[in-house]
Amino acid sequence: MNADTQQKLLLWYRKHRRDLPWRRTSDPYKIWVSEIMLQQTTVETVIPYYEKFLKRFPTVASLAVAPEDEVIRFWSGLGYYSRARNLHQAAQRVMEKFHGELPSRAEDLIKLPGIGRYTAGAIGSIAFGKRTPILDGNVVRVLSRFFTLVNDPKSTEGQKIFWQKAEEVLPKTGRKKDFGDFNQALMELGATVCLPEKPLCLMCPVSSFCRAYQKGDAAAFPKMKKKVAYRDVIMSAVLIEKEGKLLLVQRPAKGLLRGMWELPMVEGDSRELIKHWQVKLVKQLPSVRHSVLNRRLVITPFVGSLQGELATIKSQWIFPDEIKNVPTSSMNRKLINRFIASKL
């Protein structure tokens, strides 16, 4: 990519970029938080969580000293909770090893929990003006079409080639701001113009550089392997009410959603629910659908009562409208909202 094409893309970005909260700051910490939240999550979903999270944890120090449960609570609803735990641990390490200042070197950033090569490149270029390439899903799509790359971007060989191209297109020289802006321009192009199924090639500022566009075959790239098929899972949950409060139990300290609070539930039907939790079911509510990783869950909620003891399982009783104050998943929020709706 020559300097003229790079300049076209930069000018387009500065004129047409979306007004996003993390683009209004130069604070490395806030940029870091945004990059972690944007992993696996759409911009529209992230914005309110980002603003709420930073209101509660405005600095690295405030995040580092917070209890993990509270960090998870402010993350609740975003999913992929290991991101929150890694962010929390990384903040503690920044306080211990870097005197509370996020390091600017990619080799230091990448040693922090939850920061891989892409996130290190994004923080390095956007927050510190470093010439570090980035490679996310949007950039992969743009580069695959620019160069008609036929490699699977998730393969080892594909990763090597795509990172090489990401470095090649990045301006060799320029103001510090140019490197971060150029990386964001690639992402913005992929997010708003170079779309997955129906790319808006006539709106692209650099279509003359794009080999796939010249071939009239942009939508055929990137060449991805078929996605892993979803597995359907049947689950059952029970809502046990006492004096207006609902029973929640805590998940194990290891595994998926570790340490979070949820309704008593099982994989299986009502018979498994009764057997596992020793409950009496009195009413069935409409099912809730929810996707987690490669699983499509269909959860049937029941209203019921305890017939036995909870043994050593950690539990608590909360009012339904207090669920926002508890570290729990969006799936549990859906179930509790279904229960609230049934009482209206």
String of b and e for 128-139 (b: at least 16 CB within 10 Å)? bbbbbbbbbebb
Residues 6+ apart with CB under 8 A from 217: 148
How far apart (Å, rounded) are the C-alpha atoms in residues 170 and 165? 9
For 290, phi and psi rounded to 5 degrees? -155, 140
- What is the residue-wise DSSP string for 92-132? HHHHHHSTT----SHHHHTTSTT--HHHHHHHHHHHH----
Q: Residues 6 or more apart from 315 whose CB is under 8 A from it? A: 247, 248, 249, 250
Give burial (CB, 10 Å; 0-12/13-18/19+) of 90.
Answer: buried
Catalytic residue among 35, 51, 101, 267: 35
How many CA atoms are closer than 13 Å to the CA of 31, on its beta-carbon side? 22
Q: Is-catalytic flag, 168?
A: no
Helices (H), the chain: 3-16, 28-37, 43-56, 60-64, 68-75, 82-97, 106-109, 117-128, 137-146, 156-169, 176-192, 211-214, 270-277, 330-342
* 101 contacts 94 by C-beta, under 8 angstroms: yes
Provide the annotated active-site residues: 35
